[in-house]
Structures are given as C-alpha cells and as structure tokens.
C-alpha cells in the first residue's frame, strides 16, 4: 500500500455549486487536495442540505474517490466567514480537513 499522505477538505457551499454539477442551494463538498489545477481535484458533492455530513458519510465519500483517513487521523474543524462580495449577508461557515491516504488501487 502507498504511504503517500494527502489532505481532504470539506466545506459547505452556501450558494450551491456548479462543479461537478450545479446545485440549487447549499451543499457540502469534499475535495482531495493535490498538486495541479483545483479543477482537476477529485470532488464529492452531497445532495443539497445545510447539514454537515456524518463521520460515516465522510468515510463513504472518501472511499468512493479511492481514499481513506490516514492512520490516527481525525477531522479538524474550523470556522470562517463568507466573503463580503457574496449576494447575502456575511455569515459563519464551517470547514474541515483531515490527512488521508490512497486505498489500494486508489486514484492517487
């Protein structure tokens, strides 16, 4: 198995997203942070919902992209605010990140 350790990030898309498919409202997206263009990063989008994905849902999303949490890794949460240029009042948003590793035969 590869010993390569990467990072995954989860963020709520408060105004929806256009990549990989358009959503009409807030949704959560998981990104596998890699070198190269952001548009080429493996991405998983949950159905439109303001609810944060559960630990089990995050693990399933990672596995669907060919990854798993690295040994002893945990999701680290932080708060931020939406940029002032958004078409709604500034609000608090949550983001999470964790160290991950490719599964055997995974995408990385």
pLDDT in tens, 76-107: 999 887 777 767 777 777 889 999 999 975 55
Neighbours of 64 (CB within 10 A): 11
Who wins on pLDDT, 108 or 100?
100
Who wins on pLDDT, 66 or 104?
66
């Amino acid at each position: 198995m590869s010993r390569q350790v990467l990072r995954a990030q989860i963020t709520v898309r408060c105004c929806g997203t256009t990549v990989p498919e358009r959503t009409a409202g807030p949704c959560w997206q998981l990104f596998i942070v890699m070198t190269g263009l952001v548009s080429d990063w493996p991405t998983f989008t949950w159905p439109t919902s303001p609810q944060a994905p559960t630990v089990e849902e995050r693990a399933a999303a990672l596995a669907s992209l060919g990854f798993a949490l690295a040994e002893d890794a945990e999701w680290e949460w932080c708060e931020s605010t939406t940029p002032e240029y958004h078409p709604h009042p500034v609000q608090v948003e949550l983001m999470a990140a964790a160290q991950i590793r490719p599964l055997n035969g995974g995408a990385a």
